[in-house]
Structure 1
Amino acid sequence: MDVRRADERYPGGDRSAGIESWHAFSFGPHYDPDNLRFGALIACNEEQLAPGAGFDEHPHSHTEIVTWVVEGELTHRDTAGHETVVRAGDVQRLSSAGGVRHVERNDGDAPLTFVQMWLAPRDPGGEPSYEIVRGIADSTPYAVPEAGAMLHVRRLAAGERTAVPDGAYVYVHVVRGAVRLGGEELGAGDAARVTAAEDVDAVAVTAAEVLLWEMS
């Protein structure tokens, strides 16, 4: 188990434009050849957008992009004709496939915080697709078969225990609160990369929200 703390993330964004970004993997000018990916996961970015701030239209290709809103509202528009507002508890996935462009903005009056995770598909190319699951229920897995991955969302009360999925690669990201995992306490923004996970439990130290990626 490899624990990465929130304060070890690479800073990014543009504060003068109301954008703060924190990257768990090599991203943009931050290049570490030993931190390019874990399983299918190639990015896990914490993004904070001030009201009115956002990312102008930009391209993606050959990437599965999954977004989890922590607080606020995210406006998404893409060149495939989708326009949605993503809120806390929703899972959004953009399969960029052979290529798509999109815009991400905070058009609301309150600050926006979201976690965006990029996964490498098993096979490149294809047609772009988009999906949003409103208010996904606790413990309901969300499959990204294109990347051989499954997202598990857990919302835990203090003292509650949950099993970490067995898998070749499991990525655990703490959205809020604190959990104990394999003898380590993880707080908000901390993550653990577990290889060959088997019979691992997470116990909530406080009320917590956790994202777990199970990857083959």
Structure 2
Amino acid sequence: MIQLRRAHERGHADHGWLNSWHSFSFADYYDPEHTQFRSLRVINDDTVQPGQGFGTHGHRDMEIVSYVLEGALAHKDSTGGGSVIRLGSVQRMSAGTGVRHSEFNASQSEKVHFLQIWFLPNKTDIPPGYEEKYFDEAEKRGKLRLVASPDGANGSVKIQTDAKMFAGLVNGGERIEHSIGSGDDVYVHIARGHVSLNGHPLEAGDAAMLTNEDRLVLDQGQKAEVLVFELW
């Protein structure tokens, strides 16, 4: 079964300095039909104005992945981790027993557009941790590149949750076919562009939830960037 959710159906908050679309219930947005998908708890599609950002705040027992689509995001946290992540970088922060961090637009002139993704961990009270990896366009062009996994396979960042996260780019005649493991559910988020998923046309911000499916096919892409989450 494939359930589609269109971009405009998400929660929305415009704070001036921050324009955010919520795929799942978050902050003042609550939708009992969309609180999480297995361990996938948050996908916030955030655009932050130049020089603005999230001041220091705390998290606990959450796996947080940041995926930059445009601009540069400056991160600092209480583990001593800190960097500026840009297009192609995937950052993972394990909140564990507790961590405080901040995220700011690193530019004083350009917006930063990124996805803030939270997973519920499969183990609580772990030591806080931080990791970042870079994946160039060629690794994602016409294929799904594993970017986050429980065991850090294939150079992916390691996440303490029952999920794998893939990123792919689809344009023109490119076609991606991906087998889905028995008993796994899949969540697909279109980060940008247009693409067809198993014959269903999807646009930026759209999502699809796949249950009891054995494969997914992405084709007919128009500058599409796609995130695929396998969850069990």
**Which bin holds the TM-score, normalised by the shorter protein?**
over 0.9
- 1:208 maps to 2:224: yes
1:187 to 176, 191, 203: 203
Cross-structure match for 1:28: 27
Moved over 4 A (4+): none
Q: What is the CA distance between 1:143 and its match in structure 2?
A: 3.2
1:197 to 209, 213, 224: 213
- 1:128-207 equivalent positions in 2, closer than 5 A: 128-136=128-136, 137-138=139-140, 139-145=144-150, 146-167=160-181, 168-207=184-223
Contact 1:158/1:208 (<8 A) preserved: no
- 1:87-126 equivalent positions in 2, closer than 5 A: 87-108=86-107, 109-126=109-126
Equivalent pairs: percent with the same residue? 38
Contact 1:182/1:202 (<8 A) preserved: yes
Q: Secondary structure at the match of 2:8?
A: helix
Cross-structure match for 2:15: 14
Q: What is the CA distance between 1:13 and its match in structure 2?
A: 4.9
| Matching residue's letter, 1:43 | V
Q: What is the CA distance between 1:189 and its match in structure 2?
A: 1.0
Q: Which runs of 5+ in 1 are unaligned?
A: none
Contact 1:66/1:118 (<8 A) preserved: yes
Cross-structure match for 1:3: 4
Cross-structure match for 2:44: 45
Contact 2:10/2:21 (<8 A) preserved: yes
| TM-score when normalising by structure 2 | 0.88
Contact 1:164/1:212 (<8 A) preserved: no
2:201 and 2:221 mapped to 1: Cα distance? 8
Q: Which runs of 5+ in 2 are unaligned?
A: 151-159
| TM-score when normalising by structure 1 | 0.94
Contact 1:159/1:206 (<8 A) preserved: no
Cross-structure match for 2:154: none
CA RMSD of aligned residues (A): 1.4
> For this pair of structures, how many residues does the alignment match?
214
1:58 and 1:197 mapped to 2: Cα distance? 39
